[in-house]
Amino acid sequence: MLGIRDKRLVALRGDPKHPTTKGLVCAKSLFLPKIVHAPDRLKHPMIRKNGKFVRASWDEAMQLVGEKFAESIKKHGPDSVAYYGSGQALSEESYLANRIFKGGIGTNNVEGNPRLCMASAVGGYVSTFGKDEPMGCYDDIDHAKVFFLVGSNTAECHPVIFDQILARKEAHNDVLVIVCDPRKSPVTSIADIHLDPVPGFDLAVFHAMAHVIIKEKKHDPDFIAKQCQFKIVENGKPKKVSFEDYVKFLDQYSPAQAELISGVPAEKIEEAARLFANGPTMTFWTMGLNQRTRGVWANNLMHNLHLITGQIGKPGMTPFSLTGQPNACGGVRDTGSLCHILPYGRVVKKAKHRKEMEKIWGSKPGTIQPKPGKNTIEMFRALGRNEIKAMLILTTNPGQSLPNLSRYRDAMGKERSGKPFIVVLDIFPTRTTELADVILPAAMWSEKSGVFGMSERRYQYQPALVTPPGESRSDLDVLLDFAKQMEDRGVMPRGYVSSKLKNSDDVWNEMRLASKNTAYDFMGMTRERLKKERGIRWPAPTVDHPGTARRFVKGEDPILDHGPYADNSLNEGDIKFYAAKDYRATVWLRPALGPAEPADKEYPYILSTGRVLEHWHTGTMTMRAPELKRAYPEAYVEIHPADAKKLGLRNRDMVRITSRRGEALIQARITTMPREGMVFVPWCWDDTNSLINRVTIDAYDPGSKQPEFKICAVKLAKA
């Protein structure tokens, strides 16, 4: 709830009537008035001329953008251009960009930072349940007795959820918390059990928990018989196996064996397994699982535990992937704004799906390409080879947030013949805008209206209440202009966008149509309704539909617990994985492989990167609130005292962190938070010495294409 005076934001507090936040907000948001009104907001378009940025009019800037994109498309084909978007853009913005590039220009080179964030969670949901569809909801927090927090610093990164878990634990002494994280992050302060695997080696722990659960007969044989199937990949192909085969497979992952692999004591694994099975258990996981070359597999193993104990679809029992960015789910995942997907559960590979979208979009038949475009890392690699010649970047800061960063900063910005043309829309000068050819000033949150979608499938409308500074404009308006440029220059059919979509409301109405007859169906979420209600969870196919709390089930509440696509023949409490083959979810037999670059003799430490409470990612916003900046004035690397001793390091010594790709120079902070052999660096500082992504690895999960930000090998030396 915002306090506005003269169209300026002056105060902010939580909305006590909001069904999910219940009035809580995180510390960062309290400083939004200072961030929104920071004096150095971008205010005018700028064009690089002879190496210097000069102010330009919107018309001049957009003409140049249009000319460069059209020239590239005409000379080198649609795949010579690309869009790189964000889970922080509004849903209408992502949807429109996707529509322009895939259905108008005809390239699937549409990606966004959720590839760095949520891709493995999506891969996990799809491979286990047949659909990317979080089936639980935040209400489950009020029913769970066991919280399994895996690779999730919920306390600092989802403080509103963490406070709710904490409150529940304080009110009920039988509520227990299991944490799985190699670092003693603040969540461990409420942990009843802390499993601390060597980074990248926790798959064995999850298997060992399953091993214990089955051995002690704490599994749910009925649920398994009715709802599950078992699969293993052999010679690159999935093969059906039996429950008995699964049990045999788990033999190699006894707790003792898992201890050897992961370093987690066997008794702790046993204890965790028993608590998990007792339940009702809600599992939350975040980047500690997703940002891994085995991210999808790690997600599958999480789901396995819920499936074999039948803890799914019932109040307080659900595997719940915590989304990172506010609109990674509703914006990028649901609208299909990644290189292989199309809106609302469709994929580019299926002719039927392409046809459906071409019809809704009014594309020329055959415009949407059947082959997936380039994933994020491959897209920036292609940029480095001058294969992609023009890129539009919006609401993300890849000049700081990509792994193996120097390579991709060069790809974007290094002067060379044939250097690609880079357009960046942002609200502040960043480590990406400095590499751009054209910088466009954007309106931000509270200055523009649209919908965002949360992890529990809730779509919520936010209105424009504040005047954007200078000449800055909403991303949606800029995309509409960009579309007009493409139409006028003959690289998109005339009227493809301009004759149909004039504003964000028009885009939303088309999105509702695109969701019709899909599992997402939100035809009932009219703009009018969204303006009145505090968000609605899809599916909500009719205007009088209240939205759907839990997927796949027929539960206690005849409406809330019974989405329109669950089968009407279900009995109460029944579950149907309607999107999966034979309606059975898959328990996967995945080998417990480790990370792409484990520690070795030459690079003996594991570098992990992550977040702190007060800062948001690249710090462009939070570093502009003096109070937040003061909380962390400079970069630091957490080093375990035993390692510091070996290295002769003392607190505040400068440390050179070197990997096979690059180095950073950062102050030592000696603490028992990381596991021995592991160092941890928050990545929110933007000065060149602290740019830790120059050190991280760009190896990615072969399934989800998500890079392994959480693990790479480094050496450390006093600088």
Ligand X SMILES: Nc1nc2c(c(=O)[nH]1)N[C@H]1C(S)=C(S)[C@@H](COP(=O)(O)OP(=O)(O)OC[C@H]3O[C@@H](n4cnc5c(=O)[nH]c(N)nc54)[C@H](O)[C@@H]3O)O[C@H]1N2
Evaluate whether 553 touches 562 at the Cβ level (below 8 Å). Answer: yes
Cβ atoms within 10 Å of 542's Cβ, excluding its own: 10
Please tell me the distance from the alpha carbon of residue 449 to that of residue 676, in angstroms, as a whole number.
Answer: 47
Evaluate whether 72 touches 80 at the Cβ level (below 8 Å). Answer: yes
Which does residue 133 bind out of ligand X, Mo ion, none, counting CB within 5 to 8 angstroms by kind? none
Residues within window 638-657 making contact with Mo ion, judged by CB under 5 A? none
Rg of the chain (C-alpha set):
25
8: left (phi over 0), alpha (psi -120 to 50) or beta: beta
Cβ atoms within 10 Å of 434's Cβ, excluding its own: 15
Please tell me the distance from the alpha carbon of residue 212 to that of residue 216, in angstroms, as a whole number.
Answer: 6
Give the shortest CB-472-to-Mo ion separation in angstroms. 25
Applying CB under 6 A, among 339, 444, 491, 507 the residue interacting with ligand X is 444
425 binds ligand X (CB under 6 A): yes
321 binds ligand X (CB under 6 A): no
620 binds ligand X (CB under 6 A): yes
Applying CB under 6 A, among 64, 442, 497, 540 the residue interacting with ligand X is 442
Which does residue 620 bind out of Mo ion, ligand X, none, counting CB within 5 to 8 angstroms by kind? ligand X
325 binds ligand X (CB under 6 A): yes
Which does residue 314 bind out of ligand X, Mo ion, none, counting CB within 5 to 8 angstroms by kind? none
Residues within window 76-95 making contact with ligand X, judged by CB under 6 A? 86, 88
Active site residue 102: no
Residues within window 470-509 making contact with ligand X, judged by CB under 6 A? 475
Q: Catalytic pick from 26, 46, 62, 117?
A: 117
Residues within window 278-297 making contact with ligand X, judged by CB under 6 A? 286-288, 291
Please tell me the distance from the alpha carbon of residue 480 to that of residue 110, in angstroms, as a whole number.
Answer: 17
Q: Catalytic pick from 200, 263, 310, 324?
A: 324
Residues within window 343-382 making contact with ligand X, judged by CB under 6 A? none
Could you give the angle at which helices 295-308 and 203-215 cross, rounded to 10 degrees? 10
Which does residue 398 bind out of Mo ion, ligand X, none, counting CB within 5 to 8 angstroms by kind? ligand X
Evaluate whether 179 touches 272 at the Cβ level (below 8 Å). Answer: no
Please name the amino acid found at residue 21. Answer: T
Give the shortest CB-681-to-ligand X separation in angstroms. 8
Please name the amino acid found at residue 404. Answer: N
Which does residue 669 bind out of Mo ion, ligand X, none, counting CB within 5 to 8 angstroms by kind? none
- Please, which residue, 324 or 619, has the CB nearer to Mo ion? 324
From the number of C-beta atoms within 10 Å of its C-beta (0-12, 13-18, 19+), residue 22 rates as: middle
Active site residue 325: yes
46 binds Mo ion (CB under 5 A): no
Which does residue 455 bind out of Mo ion, ligand X, none, counting CB within 5 to 8 angstroms by kind? none
Cβ-proximal residues to 508 (8 Å cutoff; 6+ apart), any chain = 91, 92, 450, 451, 527
Residue showing tokens 């440029």? 485
- Please, which residue, 292 or 584, has the CB nearer to ligand X? 292
Residues within window 109-168 making contact with Mo ion, judged by CB under 5 A? 117
Binding segment (CB under 6 A) for ligand X, from list 306-314, 338-346, 576-584, 607-615: 607-615
262 binds ligand X (CB under 6 A): no
- Please, which residue, 301 or 307, has the CB nearer to ligand X? 301
Q: Catalytic pick from 325, 400, 460, 706?
A: 325
21, two tokens: 């936040």
DSSP 314: B
- Please, which residue, 367 or 375, has the CB nearer to ligand X? 375
Please tell me the distance from the alpha carbon of residue 140 to that of residue 152, in angstroms, as a whole number.
Answer: 18
Which does residue 184 bind out of ligand X, Mo ion, none, counting CB within 5 to 8 angstroms by kind? none
Cβ atoms within 10 Å of 629's Cβ, excluding its own: 16
Residue showing tokens 């799906």? 353
- Please, which residue, 189 or 242, has the CB nearer to ligand X? 189
Evaluate whether 195 touches 272 at the Cβ level (below 8 Å). Answer: yes
State the number of binding residues for ligand X (CB under 6 A): 58
Please name the amino acid found at residue 361. Answer: W
Which does residue 128 bind out of ligand X, Mo ion, none, counting CB within 5 to 8 angstroms by kind? none
- Please, which residue, 116 or 357, has the CB nearer to ligand X? 116
Evaluate whether 155 touches 184 at the Cβ level (below 8 Å). Answer: no
Active site residue 229: no
**Best CA proximity match to 610, nearest among 29, 57, 187:** 187
113 binds ligand X (CB under 6 A): yes
84, two tokens: 């790189």
565, two tokens: 């696509």
Residue showing tokens 């001058």? 386
401 binds ligand X (CB under 6 A): yes
Applying CB under 6 A, which residues contact ligand X?
86, 88, 113, 116-117, 150-153, 156-157, 180-183, 185, 197, 199-200, 202, 286-288, 291, 324-325, 394-398, 401, 425-428, 430, 442, 444-445, 475, 608-611, 613, 615-618, 620-621, 683, 692-693, 696, 709-710
Q: Please list the active-site residues.
A: 28, 117-118, 287, 324-325
Applying CB under 5 A, which residues contact Mo ion?
117, 324
